[in-house]
Amino acid sequence: MYIVIIGGGQVGFYLAKELVESNHEVLVIEENSARSAEIAETLGEIVMRGDGCEAAIQEQVGTGRADLLLAVTGADQDNLVACQVAKHVFNVPRTVARINNPKNEAIFRKLGIDFTVSATSAILSQIEQELPSHPLIPLLTLSSGFQIVEIKIPEGARVAGMKLGELSLPADSIVWGVVDASGTPRAPDDALELQGGEDIVVATLVESEEALRAALTETG
């Protein structure tokens, strides 16, 4: 595969290294001259100095024949534009953007970026189960704009004791399953009764997320 990487920081460097080791053809575009020289010294002549958001630079490195473009600079807006240039000017089949603000995940998806990776989200999803103030964990965003989220039903929630069929959830929100307190997964049967402490997995639209969180976690 021919893979173009925009941004030769820590993420870009180690991505390039791993991909070269797996015998892919890799080209890194890095704006900083000292940094690009450093990469060339370590990984060989696989780096081009320049602004990876510029179509002229992407053209010089043959982005038109790239199978994949990874935009991993530290700035969300630069990664967005690099991916959009790759998609719309060079028809790169698959673009991946690194993002810092987890809320940009849905935005980037809507703006045509194939896949986003956020260290912030990854870390949050590791610790959110421990944070009582964050009962909603986004698990996955589908290309259709739907998100798969997990919500912990708090003890004493209004919905505790209700059957799935009795819930009134926001439009376009569908329960995919429930994991009970003992860790046993349950199919989303209308007759299934929810209990506090259970995790419920729901497909929803980002704009319904807040309403969904409220519906499932409000107490009293």
* Best CA proximity match to 102, nearest among 213, 206, 9, 203: 206
Out of 23, 34, 41, 56, the only residue in the binding site for another protein (CB under 8 A) is: 56
From the CB of 80, what's the least distance to another protein, in Å? 5
69 and 63 Cβ atoms separated by less than 8 Å: yes
- Letters for 139-158 (x = contact with another protein by CB under 8 A, - = none) are --------------------
- Please identify, using beta-carbon distances, which residue of 1 and 89 lies nearer to another protein: 89
> Is residue 76 a contact point for another protein (CB under 8 A)?
yes
Q: Are strands 47-49 and 2-6 parallel, antiparallel or unpaired?
A: unpaired
Number of H helices, E strands in the chain: 7, 11
Residues 84-113, interacting with another protein (CB under 8 A) = 84-85, 88-89, 101, 103-104, 107, 110-111
Distances (CA, A) of 195 to 23, 57, 84, 116: 51, 57, 45, 34
- Please identify, using beta-carbon distances, which residue of 53 and 157 lies nearer to another protein: 53
- Please identify, using beta-carbon distances, which residue of 62 and 185 lies nearer to another protein: 62
Q: For residue 195, count CB atoms less than 10 angstroms from its CB and return exposed for 0-12, middle for 13-18, buried for 19 or more.
A: middle
- Please identify, using beta-carbon distances, which residue of 89 and 122 lies nearer to another protein: 89
Q: Is 161 left (phi over 0), alpha (psi -120 to 50) or beta?
A: left
- Please identify, using beta-carbon distances, which residue of 89 and 181 lies nearer to another protein: 89
Angle at 99 between CA 71 and CA 75, to 5 degrees: 70
Q: In this chain, which stretch among 16-24, 48-56, 123-131, 193-201 interacts with another protein, using CB under 8 A?
A: 48-56
Rule CB under 8 A: which residues touch another protein?
53-56, 75-78, 80-81, 84-85, 88-89, 101, 103-104, 107, 110-111
